Amino acid sequence: MQNDRFVLDANVFLEYIFDRELQENAKQILQDAILKKIQLLVPSLLLDEITEVLSGNLDNLEAVKNHLKYIEKLAKQGVLQIIVPNTEVRMKAIEIARTGNAKSGYPDLTDSLYHALAILNDAVFITNDLKHIRKVKKFSHIKELSKYENISEKP
C-alpha cells in the first residue's frame, strides 16, 4: 500500500467546505496534492454526493457553483483524478458491502465503492465515517481523516 496515493471520501471535501472540525486536515490533504507530494483519486460519484449535499444545505446557488467549479479545477490541473468505477471496482465494492451482519449492520455500497477504488489502486481511503471504518477494518487500505499526517513534516 502506497502512502502517497489516497482516495478521498466526499466527507473530506465537506469538512473543508462547511468549516467543520477537521477542516485543517482536509486542507492539508489538498495542499499536499497541489504540491504534488501525494496523488488523489476519487470515484465519479463524489461529484454527485457533493452536489446533493450542497443543494440541500446552501441557499446561495453561486456558492454551490463555485464549490463544484473548484473540484473541476482540481481535476483539470491534475491534482485530483476522477475515476468512473469499472466492473472490477464495483465487484470489490459488493464484496466489501456484504461483509457486515444484521447486528452491527452492513457497509454502505457507496462508501464501499470508494474503499474498493483504494484497494485496487494500492491507495488509502481517507474518510470521516467511523462506522464504515469499524465495519471494514479487515480490508485495510483505510484511515480516519483525523489521522492524516502532513506529508511535508515527514523526514
6-38 pLDDT, tens digit each: 999 999 999 999 999 999 999 999 999 999 999
153 found inside a domain: no
In which element (H, E) is residue 128 found? none
State how far the Cα of 146 lies from the Cα of 113, in Å rounded to an integer.
Answer: 21
58 found inside a domain: yes
Q: Across residues 107-111, what is the average pLDDT? A: 92
Q: Are 123 and 7 in contact (CB under 8 A)?
A: yes
Q: Which domain holds residue 117?
A: 5-146
Q: What is the CATH number of the domain that holds 39?
A: 3.40.50.1010
| Domains of the chain: total | 1
pLDDT above 70 for 2: no
**Torsion angle of alpha carbons 85, 78, 140, 128, nearest 10°?**
-90
State the chain's maximal CA–CA distance in angstroms. Answer: 45
Global confidence as pTM: 0.90
In terms of average pLDDT, the best of 2-16, 82-96, 129-143 is: 82-96
